[in-house]
Amino acid sequence: MPQERGTWSASQTTLDKATKVMEAAAASGDLYRNGLGMIASENIVSPMVQKIVASDLHGRYAEGLPGKRYYQGCDDFDTIESVGIELAKSVFKAPFANIQSTSGTVSNIAALKALAKPGDAITAVSTADGGHISHARMGAVGLRDLNLSTYPWNEERMEPDVDGACDLIRSIEPKVALIGQSVFLFPTPLEEISAAAHEVGAKVMYDGAHVLGLIAGGVFQDPLREGADLMTGSSHKTFPGPQGGFLLSSSEDPAFQKRLNNAIFPGVCSSYHLHHVAGKVIALAEFEEYGAAYAKDIVANAQHFASALAAEGFDVLAESRGYTASHQVLTRHGETDSGAGAKAARLLEDAGIITNMNMLPGDTKAMTPSGLRLGVQELTRVGMGRLEMEEVARLYARVLIHNEEPSKVKNDVKELKSNFQVIRYCFNDEERTGYPF
């Protein structure tokens, strides 16, 4: 008897491995469904985005640009990507948009490929002051073999020291002046820095990974009109789409635009995850409708949350500037390099509150920092507002100030979260079921 092709039989040990993975994915869904996701770089996707990300597109290829493909079968995806490019141009008010990048880091690698050659100079915010690893020699900057100089930092204002940054740019004459951080409380004074960069012939690259949704929502700053030649970013932080990236530019120059497109493909991508691109397009359409309200609510919530934490007795950074103008809040939990931030993050996790430890000014070791970086974009997305921000600050205080048993607090976290299971600021294409899994 010929062996049946595509048989369903499988060994129990292999099945057990798959089962373990499915169970872990479901448990991760439960963790966030019952808990408070407060990592500033994360978000949840809408029901329509969930649906398209799980579509047949996940297995397809479409190298090139709409209308100029290397494979057959791309006509429908051409429609999707064309709609997406136009939406991205409109949402980000950008003359140029490429929506293919598979992450913020990939966008940065492509941008640096387009803007600089190995050995060129670049200026950026240091990782100790909140710059991203892709801005450092250990990341994309090193991959492109660029000579990095970092801006002096104004700890009081939590932004680059503007005069110092301009002096540095004028003396180094870099090819790229890179702006933007992972710890991003306040808009960067971009016009002055851009003027200094353009004076010496540098391109200004703004990494808006964290704040892209706030920028598009009109509540942070407007880099492409404040001198940035290029803006990169993630599609899944304050911009609430699936994981991926954007590459945007204020340039109308077709030759420069072509260089940017080529830097993505064939530069750093072959397949660019069509299901995620389609998800980004849906998220862009949803953002066009609801993005301004979402962005405004995020910043209001972050400011309420910071004030509420301070009222509970926490040391919240940047008090003199009103704590924050973004989705992020920074708290200090002990001495510099003491690891107090790591301990606080672990205790909060035991209470069902997911955060990350973060280096604060003065900290020198990434694994034993004194602070936490907190983000409210996900709680905002499920409808939490001022009252809930106060409630969440109380939950933090119970764990970290009043030393209550985290497992006891966890019950109240679950109770609070049970009332916030519907994803908002998105299309209601069918019954909205809340979190994935």
Ligand X SMILES: Cc1ncc(COP(=O)(O)O)c(C=O)c1O
* Footprint on this chain of ligand X (rule: CB under 6 A): 41, 103-105, 108, 132, 134, 180-182, 207, 209-210, 234, 245
Q: Which residue is nearest to ligand X, using beta carbons?
A: 104
Are 237 and 328 a contacting pair, CB within 8 Å? no
Q: Cβ closer to ligand X: 209 or 357?
A: 209
Listed residue (287, 306, 312, 392) closest to 37, CA to CA: 392
Listed residue (132, 208, 155, 161) closest to 319, CA to CA: 155
Q: Cβ closer to ligand X: 74 or 211?
A: 211
Q: How far is the CB of 188 from ligand X (least distance, A)?
A: 12
Please report which residue ranges of 265-370 form alpha helices under DSSP H: 274-312, 340-350
Q: What is the DSSP string of 153-215?
A: EETTTTEE-HHHHHHHHHHH--SEEEE--SS--S---HHHHHHHHHHTTPEEEEE-TTTHHHH
CA 388 to chain centre: 23
The span from the CA of 270 to the CA of 426, in Å, is: 30
C-alpha torsion angle, residues 19, 50, 245, 273 (rounded to 10): 60
Q: How far is the CB of 40 from ligand X (least distance, A)?
A: 8
Q: Cβ closer to ligand X: 175 or 276?
A: 276
Q: Cβ closer to ligand X: 209 or 413?
A: 209
Q: How far is the CB of 132 from ligand X (least distance, A)?
A: 3
Listed residue (366, 301, 327) closest to 236, CA to CA: 327
What values do phi and psi take at 221, rounded to 5?
A: -145, 175
Q: Cβ closer to ligand X: 34 or 181?
A: 181
Q: How far is the CB of 236 from ligand X (least distance, A)?
A: 7
Q: How far is the CB of 5 from ligand X (least distance, A)?
A: 40
Q: What is the DSSP string of 59-116?
A: G----EETTEESSSS-HHHHHHHHHHHHHHHHHTT-SEEE---SSHHHHHHHHHHHH-
Q: Cβ closer to ligand X: 132 or 332?
A: 132
The span from the CA of 305 to the CA of 303, in Å, is: 5
Q: How far is the CB of 362 from ligand X (least distance, A)?
A: 20
Q: Cβ closer to ligand X: 223 or 406?
A: 223
Q: How far is the CB of 17 from ligand X (least distance, A)?
A: 27
Q: How far is the CB of 6 from ligand X (least distance, A)?
A: 37
Q: Cβ closer to ligand X: 137 or 386?
A: 137
